[in-house]
Chain A
């Protein structure tokens, strides 16, 4: 899932600037599951903004709304009529949701209330970790199901660097060395020789480096209406 983290209140206040009427818009999907931007977090943030602006002597009117998915037109379209009542929308969706709102409602300003952090999973309650960088050319099939693009600090494709010790990355003690994990997985299946082949340079054009990516599925497209 997409994991996000709420921006500090100071930064949000600064982004909101002189806005007096604010709609906090939560999203009911990924950011709800990671406790960063769902209905509950939208309500808590809205009330924090009301209190904070009151304390600063320039009270804001803050309402909140949560839609199931801010990244799909059909879920955000019903908001259209409400937006004219606000100076800004503060979206608690990921960056996709924020952009969807700005794109669909060009007359309204939607600001981000979250930092979209990564594609990952909850390791345990309260701890999330990155697992995928959406590089567009999945290599998990040759790295025993552990991604060195997302999990090696140097995105190495041919084994660990010299900074791996006791299974830990040189960067910080709380990063497991991805290549150590890959090697252990290979050893578990007695297939270490599969890691001995020199992997060629990666085709980064399928990643972000090729520019914004797009998928067109002709089999799914609807016939154009006359």
Chain B
């Protein structure tokens, strides 16, 4: 068999089916542990099972060594959560990437997120050599070539089953040069991307302006765009994202709301403050989903509740996105 049976779908993944059927899609994220403990993935997966259409499995995010995204994806699959395998260009050359793609597909992965990768200087091995043999756009084109043309990057034929991934990529509408961002998205579409997950949105007006350009260029008809939601856990986290994280824009209103959420709760009452912050963070996320759904071109949301997977269910319940539809 030279082609996988995908019944007219590109990959046949649940995420692809949900999007193709026109449902508002929901994805979340599972961060693998800095250990070899499979239970960490299993526990996180159980929190997301039946709650999201698929879950990203990060690949050494922020350049910190963690359990491999492919291995973690298999654990998530075993728990009944469809994985989106993240893969960066930072740690692998074109040989390793293609080899891992074959392996990931063979093990049951059907969604892939093609990323450049955070620079190693942010992580726990800052003296590492980075690879960047390909960039994320070349990576997308390579995966599409393997799926649609049945060819490796070098042009050799894949004799046998092709890895037929539903191909995703990231886009940061808040990075500069702002005018280039919609064009960069257009390049990813030209390279063959099927879905996009955006950076965490904490500046909706700016995102709206980005989406207006995307829609004016007709790009939303060629790719599914999932808007990134990052539920805030505390006022400090909001301030940190606003002031310290490169490529992030956080409107002051969110920082102020998180600060106001603990007004009247004494500093010593750590538990009370934490609960108040979490309630407000979840409330903001729900409001954001409702606002983002109204923006033309938004096909779903991607919830990045980092080390806070418990928040995903209440957010989606609050936003009226549960139960998840089933597409046969």
A160 close to chain B: CB less than 8 A: yes
Chain B residue, CB-CB nearest to A149: B132
For chain B, the count of residues having a C-beta within 8 Å of the partner chain is: 37
Contacts of B137 in A (CB 8 A): 158-159, 198-199
Do A156 and B177 contact each other (CB < 8 Å), given the known contacts A162-B170, A165-B246? no
A154 to B176, CA, bound (A): 16
A183 close to chain B: CB less than 8 A: yes
Tell which of A165, A171, A192 touches B175, judged by Cβ atoms closer than 8 Å. Answer: A165
Q: How far is the CB of A182 from chain B (nearest CB, A)?
A: 9
A195 to B183, CA, bound (A): 9
A155 to B89, CA, bound (A): 11
- Beta-carbon contacts under 8 Å, B10-37 to A: none
Tell which of A154, A157, A166, A195 touches B90, judged by Cβ atoms closer than 8 Å. Answer: A154
Q: Does B177 lie within 8 Å of A180, measured CB to CB? A: yes
Contacts of A196 in B (CB 8 A): 183, 186-187
Q: How far is the CB of A207 from chain B (nearest CB, A)?
A: 11
Chain B residue, CB-CB nearest to A177: B176
A204 to B132, CA, bound (A): 11
A150 to B92, CA, bound (A): 20
Q: Does B176 lie within 8 Å of A180, measured CB to CB? A: yes
Q: How far is the CB of B170 from chain A (nearest CB, A)?
A: 7
Contacts of A183 in B (CB 8 A): 177, 179-180
Q: Does A162 lie within 8 Å of B119, measured CB to CB? A: no
Q: How far is the CB of B13 from chain A (nearest CB, A)?
A: 24
Q: Does B119 lie within 8 Å of A163, measured CB to CB? A: yes
Q: Does B247 lie within 8 Å of A154, measured CB to CB? A: no
A163 to B181, CA, bound (A): 12
Q: Does A184 lie within 8 Å of B90, measured CB to CB? A: no
Q: Does B247 lie within 8 Å of A164, measured CB to CB? A: yes
Tell which of B135, B170, B172, B191 touches A156, judged by Cβ atoms closer than 8 Å. Answer: B135
Q: How far is the CB of B113 from chain A (nearest CB, A)?
A: 13
A165 to B134, CA, bound (A): 22
Q: Does A201 lie within 8 Å of B138, measured CB to CB? A: yes
Chain A residue, CB-CB nearest to B190: A198
A155 to B247, CA, bound (A): 18
A59 close to chain B: CB less than 8 A: no
Q: How far is the CB of B251 from chain A (nearest CB, A)?
A: 16
Contacts of B94 in A (CB 8 A): 201
Contacts of A157 in B (CB 8 A): 135, 138
A61 close to chain B: CB less than 8 A: no
Q: Does A164 lie within 8 Å of B138, measured CB to CB? A: no
A204 to B116, CA, bound (A): 18
Contacts of A156 in B (CB 8 A): 116, 132, 135
Contacts of B186 in A (CB 8 A): 196
A196 to B183, CA, bound (A): 7
Q: Does B135 lie within 8 Å of A162, measured CB to CB? A: no
- Beta-carbon contacts under 8 Å, A107-163 to B: 153-163
- Beta-carbon contacts under 8 Å, B40-70 to A: none
Chain A residue, CB-CB nearest to B184: A159
A199 to B190, CA, bound (A): 11
Contacts of A198 in B (CB 8 A): 137-138, 141, 187, 190-191
Q: Does B130 lie within 8 Å of A162, measured CB to CB? A: no
Q: Does B180 lie within 8 Å of A160, measured CB to CB? A: yes
Other than the given A159-B184, A172-B121, 17 more pairs (CB < 8 A) read A154-B119, A154-B135, A158-B187, A161-B116, A163-B119, A165-B176, A165-B246, A170-B122, A170-B247, A179-B180, A180-B176, A183-B177, A196-B183, A198-B141, A201-B94, A201-B133, A204-B133
Interface residues of A (CB under 8 A from B): 153-168, 170-172, 177, 179-180, 183-184, 187, 192, 195-196, 198-202, 204
Interface residues of B (CB under 8 A from A): 89-90, 94, 116-119, 121-122, 130, 132-138, 141-142, 153, 170-172, 175-177, 179-180, 183-184, 186-187, 190-191, 199, 246-247
> Can you list 14 pairs linking A and B with CB atoms under 8 Å apart?
A154-B90, A156-B132, A160-B184, A161-B175, A162-B116, A162-B247, A163-B118, A163-B172, A163-B175, A171-B119, A180-B177, A183-B177, A196-B183, A198-B190
